Structures are given as C-alpha cells and as structure tokens.
Amino acid sequence: MLKPYIPILLGTGREGRMSEKVAEYLLEKVKMFEFKTEILDVRDFVTSVTVPAWVENEQVKKWKEIVVNAQGFILVAPEYNHGYPGELKIWLDKALAEYKNKPLVVCSVSSGGFGGVRMFENLLPILHYLGFNVLGETISFSKVKDDFENPDYLKLDEKYFKQIEMMKNSLLLSVK
C-alpha cells in the first residue's frame, strides 16, 4: 500500500516562533511511521491579505492541489490572545470544498500551562465549517519554551510519544 501523504502545517509566521521547533520534533517522529510527510509553512502560502478559494491565482491553485493530494493533516498552531494566528485563517481560507472529510489533528502550542487549548476551542468550529474530520487525538504542547528551547528528544518522547502514537493510529484509521 502507498504511504499516505500527511503534511504538518506550521500555522504561525511569527519571527522566533517556538511552534517551528514543535513541528520539527513532530516531523522526526512522524517520519518513523507509515506516512509521507513534510512541514508546510504558512509563510510560503500567505504573503498578504485574504485571497479566497474562488480566486484563480497560483497560490490558491498550489494550496488546493496540496489539499487534494493529502490524505490528512497535522496542524501545529500556537495560542495568541486565546485565539489562532490570523495568518492561519488566511491560509485556510484559500480552499473549501477540497477539505471535505479530510482528517486533521491539532497540535496546540503555548508558553503557558494550558497548552493552547483555548486556541483549539476557538478554531474548532471553523475547522468543522471548512469540512475537516477533526480527530479527537489532539496534543497540547504547554510550557513550550522550557521543553523546546534546547530540546532533548528523549525527554520529549517520555512526555509526548504515547500521544503521538495515538495521533498516528487515529490518522491511519481515518485516511481513505
């Protein structure tokens, strides 16, 4: 069987983003599984204001092709003022019908103790509206600076590997 293509979406373009380190850690882990994966960076898809899904331009076309070819998604996004980064919404708005029933797992990130769960709760209705099959196996990366400034992957595995495996199993069960 062909490996499913499940990219990791990095949902913030902020200078100095810790979420990038989380995405890189996940990439190392997910590569061990039966997935084809890579990190897709919001910075490569969003340069300015909203360009909706019905506009025919290269950026929209490229994103829609990726979505059509992906069997699922792992979204890494931080919490900003209890919400999601604005650039993530601009990115997601570049497609709509293409998302229908595609499985998606959210990995939320924060420097505080709640791991970005308020961001996830604010994003959830939008992900549902867009048509994603949002899986329950979310992972919350709290205290991200403590863990990821100088990451020790063995320690991280102790904390997160079981959850990452559950995420992987859930994605594999859901891909078509």
Ligand X SMILES: Cc1cc2nc3c(=O)[nH]c(=O)nc-3n(C[C@H](O)[C@H](O)[C@H](O)COP(=O)(O)O)c2cc1C
Q: What is the binding site for ligand X (CB under 6 A)?
A: 12, 14, 17-19, 78-82, 109-112, 114, 144
Query: Considering the complex, what minimum distance in angstroms separates the CB of residue 99 from ligand X?
Result: 23
Residue 88 or 144 having the CB closest to ligand X:
144
Query: Considering the complex, what minimum distance in angstroms separates the CB of residue 5 from ligand X?
Result: 24
* Residue environment code for 123-157, b if the CB has 16+ CB neighbours within 10 A, otherwise e: beeebeebbbbbbebbbbbbebeebbeeeeeeebe
- On whether the CB atoms of residues 116 and 85 are closer than 8 A, the answer is no
Q: In sequence order, what E strands does the chain have?
A: 8-10, 39-41, 73-78, 103-109, 133-134, 139-141
Residue 5 or 80 having the CB closest to ligand X:
80
Query: Considering the complex, what minimum distance in angstroms separates the CB of residue 12 from ligand X?
Result: 5
Residue 51 or 76 having the CB closest to ligand X:
76
Residue 110 or 174 having the CB closest to ligand X:
110
Measured CA distances, 57 to 65, 86, 89, 104 (Å): 12, 21, 18, 25
Nearest to 44 by CA among 25, 63, 18: 63
- On whether the CB atoms of residues 90 and 49 are closer than 8 A, the answer is yes
Residue 24 or 165 having the CB closest to ligand X:
24
Query: Considering the complex, what minimum distance in angstroms separates the CB of residue 138 from ligand X?
Result: 15
Query: Considering the complex, what minimum distance in angstroms separates the CB of residue 175 from ligand X?
Result: 27
- On whether the CB atoms of residues 86 and 118 are closer than 8 A, the answer is no
